[in-house]
Amino acid sequence: MQVYEVRVFDENGKTQLIAAEVGLNDNAAIRSGRAIAAGKHFEVWRGMDCIYGLDSPPQTVRGKQTIPLDVSPP
């Protein structure tokens, strides 16, 4: 048994729901994530590994919000 995290996104790409669950394997966790998401975009994570999800959901990079960095000199 593995611990998984399911992240469901709204139509703007913002996280709407994060659910944790214990699953038999990756495929079972993905099926469960699909049921939880009810047609919305979602990702399934096993620890630090994204095992299912969008290539680039809006405003996120693999489930993390992007933060622009200003690297120009002061």
SS3 state of residue 43: strand
Residue 42 counted as domain residue: yes
Q: pTM (2 decimals)?
A: 0.70
Determine, yes or no, domain membership for 70: no
Report residue 24 as tokens.
């038999």
Q: How many domains does the chain have?
A: 1
Query: Does a structural domain hold residue 74?
Result: no
Residues 30, 52 contacting (CB under 8 angstroms): yes
Confidence check: pLDDT of 18 > 70: yes
Give dist(CA 38, CA 2) in Å, integer: 22
Q: Is residue 73 part of a domain?
A: no
What pLDDT was estimated at residue 72?
41
The boundaries of the domain holding residue 47 are 2-65
Q: CA–CA separation, 12 vs 59, rounded Å?
A: 8
7 part of a folded domain? yes
Does residue 72 lie in a domain region? no
Percent of the chain residues past pLDDT 70, beyond the cut: 72
pLDDT (tens digit per residue) in 32-64: 999 999 999 999 999 999 999 865 444 444 555
Residue 21 lies in a domain: yes
22 belongs to a structural domain: yes
